């Protein structure tokens, strides 16, 4: 007998139940998805913009002098700031400038900026033309290494970097008066013009040097150049003579007379025998700078030693003042061949035409100097 199949429904509890009816699959709303993506993009863009316009180095408080040239566009300024490591992005600077209507307000000049400044602060500084400057003074009669040491002591330069700049950087293309200067590491000697200057905080050693060279360029006018040419002298020869005058003269009234002695001795093919040239040679070679030379010192081996070498030394021996430059170009008319500090001990000199009179003047000075030293010793 055949078995009849059971067509009764299976027990749901035994086989598991299925949905009574297949429902439609739920979908994420497209509008909400677009909104979330938009929020993400805007948030990312905002955060990126904040980062790109924020400080490059929040903890770096050192100053960097940045010169913005006249006529520079906002894009060029941004690119320069990024290149010099002041900001994160030049493009972000450009965008900030445009959205804040600053593009036409930036002023040319040299600014003291910090990497801890954000783009807003930098933009405001340049739009207002704010510069934080510091002053420094170059003393007439100091040579280039003494100038570097003085500026380093004042916190204006790093002495080693300053020395490297003056010895190795080529400034001849920018400053044509250096074309006939001595062709060695002392090429700038005599041309770091003595004056009081002002530069933005953080100026580089090169910028400091250029400021002094600018000073010389402004002082050595076309009239002085014409006068030098009339005397048959190069600018370098004028500066050499002026530098000797600067070191030898104790009072202004003696400058032109010292110039006359220099030219008179040159014309007679006599060695100049200027102590200042020997003192310079010894000093730049690293020896102790002396106020008074010994006889042995006058035999110091150097091309600057005008006891051993006739004619002018190869280059200036210090940075001369305008007064000494003028004296070199407009010397007094005298027959003097000698001079020495006077027995008055007031910094003035006495001049003579003969070696005999010169010897007497030297003896008088030595006597007065010894008496002064003895008096000072007794007082102590």
Question: pLDDT tens digit string along 208-250?
Answer: 999 999 999 999 999 999 999 999 999 999 999 999 999 999 9
Dist CA 217 CA 175 (whole Å)? 8
For tokens 């006597």, name the residue: 367
Mean pLDDT computed over 294-323: 97
Mean pLDDT computed over 350-363: 97
Q: Are 75 and 104 within one domain?
A: yes
Which residues 6+ apart lie within 8 Å of 370 measured at CB? none
Lowest mean pLDDT among 27-36, 53-62, 114-123, 308-317: 27-36
CA terminus-to-terminus distance, the chain: 151
Closest alpha carbon to 313 in 298, 302, 326, 300 = 302
* Domain extent for 140: 134-219
Q: What is the CATH number of the domain that holds 103?
A: 3.30.1490.480
For the record, the structure tokens of 140 come out as: 């007439």
Residue 253 in any domain: the answer is no
Residue 40 in any domain: the answer is no
Q: Are 208 and 141 within one domain?
A: yes
Q: Are 154 and 170 within one domain?
A: yes
Task: Compute the mean pLDDT over every residue in the chain, rounded to the nearest whole number.
Answer: 88
User: pTM to 2 decimals?
Assistant: 0.76
Pairing of strands 338-341, 196-200: unpaired
Residues 23-71 pLDDT 10s: 555 665 666 656 666 665 555 555 565 677 788 888 888 888 888 888 8
Please state the length of the chain.
380
Residue 25 in any domain: the answer is no
State the pLDDT at residue 377.
87
Residues 328-355 pLDDT 10s: 999 999 999 999 999 999 999 999 999 9
In the predicted model, is pLDDT for residue 9 greater than 70? no
Long-range contacts of 163-171 (CB under 8 A, 24+ apart): 164/205, 165/205, 165/206, 165/209, 166/192, 166/209, 169/206, 169/209, 171/209, 171/210, 171/213
State the pLDDT at residue 12.
47
In the predicted model, is pLDDT for residue 2 greater than 50? no
DSSP classification of residue 299: G
In the predicted model, is pLDDT for residue 89 greater than 50? yes
State the pLDDT at residue 37.
66
| Residue 133 φ/ψ, nearest 5 degrees | -105, 160
Lowest mean pLDDT among 23-32, 142-151, 180-189: 23-32
Residue 256 in any domain: the answer is no
Dist CA 166 CA 188 (whole Å)? 6
Q: How many domains does the chain have?
A: 3
For the record, the structure tokens of 37 come out as: 């993506």
Mean pLDDT computed over 353-379: 94
Which residues 6+ apart lie within 8 Å of 365 measured at CB? 340, 341, 342, 343, 345
Which residues 6+ apart lie within 8 Å of 253 measured at CB? 348
Q: Are 209 and 164 within one domain?
A: yes
Q: Of 219, 254, 280, which residue sits at a domain end?
A: 219
Q: Are 212 and 180 within one domain?
A: yes
State the pLDDT at residue 44.
55
Q: Are 140 and 195 within one domain?
A: yes
Q: Of 194, 219, 244, which residue sits at a domain end?
A: 219
Q: Which SS3 state, helix, strand or coil, does residue 366 take?
A: helix
State the pLDDT at residue 131.
76
Which residues 6+ apart lie within 8 Å of 223 measured at CB? none
Residue 245 in any domain: the answer is no
Which residues 6+ apart lie within 8 Å of 119 measured at CB? 52, 53, 54, 87, 92, 93, 96
**Burial bucket for residue 227 (CB in 10 Å: 0-12, 13-18, 19+):** middle
Lowest mean pLDDT among 217-226, 287-296, 297-306: 287-296
Torsion region of 338: left, alpha or beta (phi above 0 gives left; psi -120 to 50 gives alpha): beta
Q: Are 215 and 152 within one domain?
A: yes
In the predicted model, is pLDDT for residue 4 greater than 50? no
Mean pLDDT computed over 356-378: 94
CB atoms within 10 A of CB 218: 10
Dist CA 315 CA 169 (whole Å)? 18
State the pLDDT at residue 3.
45
pLDDT interval class at 379 (50, 70, 90)? confident
Burial letters for 85-120: b for 16+ Cβ neighbours within 10 Å, e otherwise?
Answer: ebbbbbebbbbbbeeeebbeebeeebbbbbbebbbe
State the pLDDT at residue 103.
86
Q: Are 180 and 198 within one domain?
A: yes
Q: Are 118 and 149 within one domain?
A: no
Residue 42 in any domain: the answer is no
Residue 365 in any domain: the answer is yes
Q: Are 177 and 113 within one domain?
A: no
Q: Are 92 and 104 within one domain?
A: yes
State the pLDDT at residue 7.
47
Dist CA 62 CA 113 (whole Å)? 8
Q: Are 78 and 155 within one domain?
A: no
Q: Of 105, 131, 157, which residue sits at a domain end?
A: 131
Lowest mean pLDDT among 109-118, 134-143, 322-331: 109-118
Residue 260 in any domain: the answer is no
Closest alpha carbon to 224 in 333, 334, 336, 320 = 320
Dist CA 258 CA 247 (whole Å)? 11
> For the chain, what percent of residues have pLDDT higher than 90?
66
């Amino acid at each position: 007998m055949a078995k009849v199949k059971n067509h009764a429904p299976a027990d749901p509890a035994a086989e598991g139940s299925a949905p009574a009816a297949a429902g439609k699959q739920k979908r994420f709303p497209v509008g909400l998805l677009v909104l979330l993506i938009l929020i993400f993009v805007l948030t990312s863009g905002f955060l990126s913009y904040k980062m790109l316009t924020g400080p490059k180095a929040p903890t770096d408080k050192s100053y960097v002098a940045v010169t913005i040239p006249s006529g520079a566009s906002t894009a060029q300024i941004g690119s320069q700031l990024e290149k010099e490591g002041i900001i994160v992005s030049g493009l972000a600077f450009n965008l900030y400038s445009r959205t804040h209507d600053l593009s036409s307000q930036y002023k040319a000049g040299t600014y003291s900026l910090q990497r801890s400044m954000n783009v807003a602060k930098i933009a405001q500084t340049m739009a207002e033309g704010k510069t934080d400057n510091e002053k420094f003074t170059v003393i007439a009669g100091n040579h280039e290494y003494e100038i570097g040491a003085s500026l380093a002591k004042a916190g204006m330069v790093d002495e080693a970097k300053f020395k490297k700049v003056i010895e190795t950087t080529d400034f001849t293309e920018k400053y044509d008066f250096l074309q006939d200067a001595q062709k060695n590491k002392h090429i700038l000697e005599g041309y770091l013009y003595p004056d009081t200057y002002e530069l933005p905080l953080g100026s580089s050693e090169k910028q400091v040097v250029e400021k002094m060279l600018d000073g010389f360029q402004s002082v050595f006018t076309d009239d002085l150049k014409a006068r030098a040419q009339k005397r048959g002298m190069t600018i370098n020869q004028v500066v050499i003579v002026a530098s000797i005058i600067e070191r030898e003269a104790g009072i202004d009234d003696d400058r032109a007379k010292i110039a006359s002695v220099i030219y008179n001795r040159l014309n007679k093919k006599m060695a100049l025998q200027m102590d200042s040239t020997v003192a310079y040679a010894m000093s730049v070679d690293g020896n102790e700078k002396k106020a008074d030379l010994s006889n042995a010192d006058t035999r110091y081996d150097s091309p600057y030693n005008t006891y051993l070498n006739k004619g002018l030394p190869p280059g200036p021996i210090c940075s001369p003042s305008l007064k000494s430059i003028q004296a070199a170009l407009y010397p007094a008319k005298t027959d003097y061949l000698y001079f020495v500090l006077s027995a008055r001990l007031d910094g003035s000199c006495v001049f003579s035409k003969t070696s005999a009179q010169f010897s007497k003047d030297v003896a008088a000075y030595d006597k007065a100097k010894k008496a002064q030293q003895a008096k000072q010793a007794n007082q102590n």
